[in-house]
Chain A
Amino acid sequence: DIQMTQSPSSVSASVGDRVTITCRASQGISRWLTWYQQKPGKAPKLLIYAASSLQSGVPSRFSGSGSGTDFTLTISSLQPEDFATYYCQQANSFPLTFGGGTKVEIQ
């Protein structure tokens, strides 16, 4: 199985801050990387697929980059509704695997 490692596990930030989350795969996954946002008690929501493609309806302050083993999710200007947990997921091979999550908290 491909292991996905996210860092940091949590980050404290303020509204307007730029936030970057990283995800590392245990082996190369090309650009088969998806990012999700999950709020408490809710199902995850797809933000970015294929490493950098923004899902329809997702604000442009979210962006993704990377290929191979190293990927980043960036929120350019944090908004109140962005406080949530973010997960990466690889789709290079089955079983699909997820990172451990990054909780973005209010500073």
Chain B
Amino acid sequence: QVQLQQWGAGLLKPSETLSLTCAVFGGSFSDYYWTWIRQPPGKGLEWIGKINHSGSTTYNPSLKSRVAISVDTSKNQFSLEVTSVIAADTAVYFCAPYSGGSGGLDPWGQGTLVTVSS
């Protein structure tokens, strides 16, 4: 079964770039859309965007101008960059595979808390 391990810098200053990577173990990398979701402290879930194995992306319009998702199929990894971060970008960031067949996200990575503070 698919397992995920994510990592990246946890403390950023305003205007810096957030960078996270998610490694995929098991399963077939080409079977899913690879997705990022975030959750501000004490709040709900926000879908950021997705990428497939060939590099085709879809982003949430609310973040589209600052977000880029990329994929490295040789390593079974995908990455998230968010430029010009602000305090409102402080959140736990999760990676997860999205199945077009079920419409669900499963399983989820362990989450990475990213704090934006001067």
List residues of A whose CB falls within 8 A of some B CB.
1, 32-34, 36, 43-46, 49-50, 53, 55, 87, 89, 91-92, 94-101
Contacts and interface: CB of A to CB of B under 8 A. Distances in A.
A57 B114 CA distance: 31
A98 B110 contact: no
A36 B44 CA distance: 12
A91 B110 contact: no
Interface residues of B, number: 25
Contacts, number: 67
Contacts of B45: 44, 87, 89, 98, 101
Given A95-B60, A95-B61, A46 B44 contact: no
Nearest to A94: B58
A43 B111 contact: yes
A43 B103 contact: no
Contact of A50 (B47, B49, B102, B110): B102
B26 interface: no
A91 B103 contact: yes
A32 B103 contact: yes
A23 to B, nearest CB: 13
B108 A96 contact: no
Nearest to A55: B106
30 contacts: A32-B103, A34-B104, A43-B96, A43-B107, A43-B109, A44-B45, A44-B94, A44-B105, A45-B108, A46-B104, A49-B102, A49-B103, A50-B102, A53-B102, A55-B104, A87-B44, A87-B45, A89-B45, A89-B104, A91-B103, A92-B103, A95-B49, A95-B58, A95-B59, A96-B105, A97-B47, A98-B44, A98-B46, A99-B44, A100-B44
